[in-house]
Amino acid sequence: MNARNKALNELTALSRFVFCSRNSTQAEWLGAALGKWGTLLQEKADVAELLSRIVELNPLLVLLDFSGIEQVSDHAGVLSLDSLGTTAHATELARALGKTIPTLPLVAVGSMAFPEGTIAALRAGVSDFIDVSASEDEARDVVQRVLAKAAARAPAPVKRGQLVTLLGVRSGIGTSTLAAHLADMIQLRNTSHGGKRNSTESRVALLDLGLPAGDGKLYLSANGNFDFAEAVRNLRRLDETLVHTALPRSPGGVTVISLPHSLSEMRTVSHHDALALLDRLRLYFDVLIADLGGFTNHEFIANLTGAADQVWLVTDQSVGALVSLAGTLQELNGRHPDDGKRHLVVNRYDDRFGMAASQIAERFKLPLLATLPERTLKLTSSANRGKLLHEVAPHDTYVKAVDGLIDGLLSHDETAAHKHGVGRWLPKILLRK
């Protein structure tokens, strides 16, 4: 068996190719050419949204439109007056993908009538081309060759940690408290024997991005000032040694990355750099818990939730929280359709408060993941002692509820590791002519 067919040896109808272009005629042609190997999805958005979308779609390969051709009808196309603008978009996306997902194969879709596009693609690091005037067989040959090369140089699959986003629908409903308990209890479970910690090896990271800023770091008594913006700025230097020495760490071993003291620093953090940071951190931790309680940048939230393995929307039974939940879902749905990762967590739950958790879930069409009991007094009391509740009352009903969440989370660990390994970009398929 030759190298090409050895690398591509299992046909799957679930394989996906993504074509980033507004030209539907070209998309239809490519879809027909690649249709027997999988599904071609056409995506039209800005670079930041496309990055999140591509991570979410998990494609075999991405095709970028460097053709300079603008569709003017269902059957014709002309060189666009904005050819350089669309080429600049493709160039920016190619460079962002090369930085964020370096193992993802890229192919330029070009036109002999627009050589500037070919030059731009080469400068952006894309060296394989499909000519829009070529035959479908030639397009398939290019895709075969690119996937075979990528499979040959792909390293062995690497286990990557799960990313779980806790999206609190508003400030003050206990999202940061939940995130801190969840992170510390997972860390305790991973590094303990007989109920006592015997290692401080950090297996869990808390992305403490909720507002008010720094609550998670406070609850976990983490020391250090290396924040999220600084981590993004040092992305090139962020290896295992730096991760486990420079980043703040709680006494129990949870690594905590908080918002900077001056939130204005977050304006310098691009969305694709933030996604690149998350992808890097997954190499070094089993679980990443992202606390977004009260965070207000909707584009950032959409990108982060798009890259997450699970999205937990956290609310309570108050009218204000339920109104905020409706607004949050509207924002999410406006940017990305529901992909089955979203679940509902009802915090501070008490049957006497009114609407039942099942009614809330039904009203908002969300699977109910868990209810966490109203334990404000106990949680506040333990926090005032500088402790988490499981440290002072390990059999409390709140602790038991969080334990149940962890059971479900860790049961999906192997699935998440498979999904986010390097091999996710290169499933082995046989491309038969």
pLDDT tens for 113-148 read: 888 889 999 999 999 999 998 999 999 999 999 988
- Tell me what percent of the residues of the chain surpass a pLDDT of 90: 54
Which residues lie closer than 8 Å to 200 by C-beta, 6 or more apart?
Answer: 191, 249, 251, 252, 253
pTM: 0.67
The CATH number for 162-420, chosen from 3.30.465.10, 3.40.50.970, 3.40.50.300, 3.40.50.261, is 3.40.50.300
pLDDT tens for 315-371 read: 999 999 999 999 999 999 988 778 889 999 999 999 999 899 999 999 999 999 999
Confidence at residue 86, expressed as pLDDT on a 0 to 100 scale: 82
The average confidence (pLDDT) of the chain is: 85
- Which has the higher per-residue pLDDT, 72 or 164? 164
Domain boundaries, the chain: 3-154, 162-420
In terms of average pLDDT, the best of 8-22, 76-90, 145-159, 229-243 is: 229-243
Distance CA 147, CA 426 (A): 7
- Tell me what percent of the residues of the chain surpass a pLDDT of 70: 85
In terms of average pLDDT, the best of 30-34, 137-141, 177-181 is: 177-181
Average pLDDT of the segment spanning 143-168: 83
pLDDT tens for 102-115 read: 889 999 999 888 88
Residue 149: pLDDT band by 50, 70, 90 thresholds? Answer: confident
Residue 98 has pLDDT above 50, yes or no: yes
- Which has the higher per-residue pLDDT, 36 or 330? 330
Confidence at residue 368, expressed as pLDDT on a 0 to 100 scale: 97
Residue 302 has pLDDT above 80, yes or no: yes
- Which has the higher per-residue pLDDT, 166 or 269? 166
**Cis status, amide bond into 212, omega within 30 of 0:** yes
Q: Which two tokens stand for residue 235?
A: 């992305």
pLDDT tens for 350-365 read: 999 989 999 999 999 9
Average pLDDT of the segment spanning 42-55: 89
Residue 79 has pLDDT above 70, yes or no: no
Confidence at residue 7, expressed as pLDDT on a 0 to 100 scale: 41
Confidence at residue 18, expressed as pLDDT on a 0 to 100 scale: 95
Confidence at residue 196, expressed as pLDDT on a 0 to 100 scale: 56
Classify domain 3-154 at the CATH superfamily level: Response regulator (3.40.50.2300)
> Range with the lowest mean pLDDT among 47-56, 104-113, 181-190, 407-416?
407-416
Q: Do domains 3-154 and 162-420 have the same CATH topology?
A: yes
Average pLDDT of the segment spanning 408-412: 82
Average pLDDT of the segment spanning 382-393: 96
